[in-house]
Amino acid sequence: EENHPVQGLIVNGFIQSPGVILLGENEIALHPIVGDRVTVSLDEIESFRERNYFNGSLLIFKTGFRLRVPNHKRLGFAIPKSEAGPFRLALAEKLLSGSFPRAG
């Protein structure tokens, strides 16, 4: 659901913090408890990976997304597996539409 707040874990640079993640029509907004808020347009994202590990820790009952975005050295978030579907779909649609470069 668009703009439905999801609690999760946010990594921005070397700061890892719990926070709220919002999926908008064409953007993902990360609102950590500690650190600066980051809003990323889906068009800015060069690629993404789903992760089971985050900063060396195993994610249990969570899905991690590592985003490759210009001007952001390390950016990602982890959310409950039950909430990951809309984020996965939004990112995959950009990949399939040709907005992301394909690996290979």
Average pLDDT over residues 27-36: 94
* CATH architecture of residue range(s) 6-96: Roll (2.30)
pTM (2 d.p.): 0.86
> Which residues fall within 8 angstroms of residue 1, CB to CB, at 6 or more apart?
86
For 79-94, the pLDDT digits (tens) are: 999 999 999 999 998 7
Structural domain spans, the chain: 6-96
Cα–Cα distance, 31 to 45 (Å, whole number): 18
Sign of CA dihedral 35, 41, 46, 51: positive
Nearest to residue 72, comparing CAs of 34, 15, 26, 19? 15
| pLDDT at residue number 81 | 95
